Every structure is written in C-alpha cells, then in structure tokens.
Amino acid sequence: MKKLALLLVASLPLFWACNSNDETSAQQGENDIDAARMFIRSALDGKWKDARRLIVQDPVNVEDLETAERMADRRDALTQRNYREAQITIHDTRKVGDSVSIVTYSNTFKKQKDSVKVVRVGSQWLVDLKYSFPNTNAVQQ
C-alpha cells in the first residue's frame, strides 16, 4: 500500500505536465525584444491564439491580427511550411521611451525587414499592431 501511495505521489508531476493545455502554454515576454520575438514566432508558426495573447487588447489590434490570420490561412502548404521553418533575425531595437520600443526584424524565408511596436502595459510587454499596419490612424513614433 505504501509503495502504491509513493508511486501515485511521484507520478503527479508527470500527469500535470502531460495535462497542460494551450491556454497556459503561451507566456509573456520578459522584455521588449523577447515579446516581439515571441509574437513573430507565433505568427510565423500560425499559432494565432498565442499571438493574440501577445498583442495590446483593443479592437483595432484584434481586427488587424484577424486580418493577418485570414491572409496567412490562404497561403499554400509549402509557403506555410517555409514560414514555420524560418528563423527570426532582429536587426535593430529603437527605444522610444521607457515603455515603448520599435523592433526591426526579418525572417530567413521572406528576407524583408519589417517592424513591430512593443509597449509595456502594466508589467507586460505587448505588440501594438497599429504601428505595423499603415491603414490605421495610429501615431507612428
């Protein structure tokens, strides 16, 4: 009986690890560059739920992300695979203030420089897509 109880107690961490769900798997970036990298990786991988957790939660950002998701879903399988396999290159980080950074990056598939704005909201660093999509009324700093 003691052996059975010990086995159950010893195997609990394994059960918890196997039972983890996607709701808790997406973490927040520790800093501006980390948050940008995590968002870009999620987008390249097509993990839109994870990407959604890494953006500023306002209607414009959510709509921009949904548009990006729809466009990505229209890509052929080979293109999607190439994006998933692409590496991220961070070229530059420009601090606009204590809580705002512009991160310039590219990926090894597309090989085109692009930028994302990362803002600190409370203790979290989040991507503000209004900077990346020119059709919005955001003030680009």
Q: What is the CATH number of domain 28-131?
A: 3.10.450.50
More confident residue, 9 or 116: 116
For the chain, percent helix, then strand, then coil, each to nearest 5?
A: 50, 25, 30
Q: Where are the domains of the chain?
A: 28-131
The pLDDT of residue 122 is 93
> CB atoms < 10 A from the CB of 137, how many?
6
pLDDT band at 135 (very low <50, low <70, confident <90, very high): low
Q: How far is C-alpha 46 from the chain's CA centre?
A: 10
Is the Cβ–Cβ distance between 127 and 38 less than 8 Å? no
- 44, with CB counted inside 10 A (0-12, 13-18, 19+), is buried
Could you read off the pLDDT of 93-131 as tens digits, one per residue? Answer: 999 999 999 999 999 999 999 999 999 999 999 999 998
pLDDT for residue 121: 94
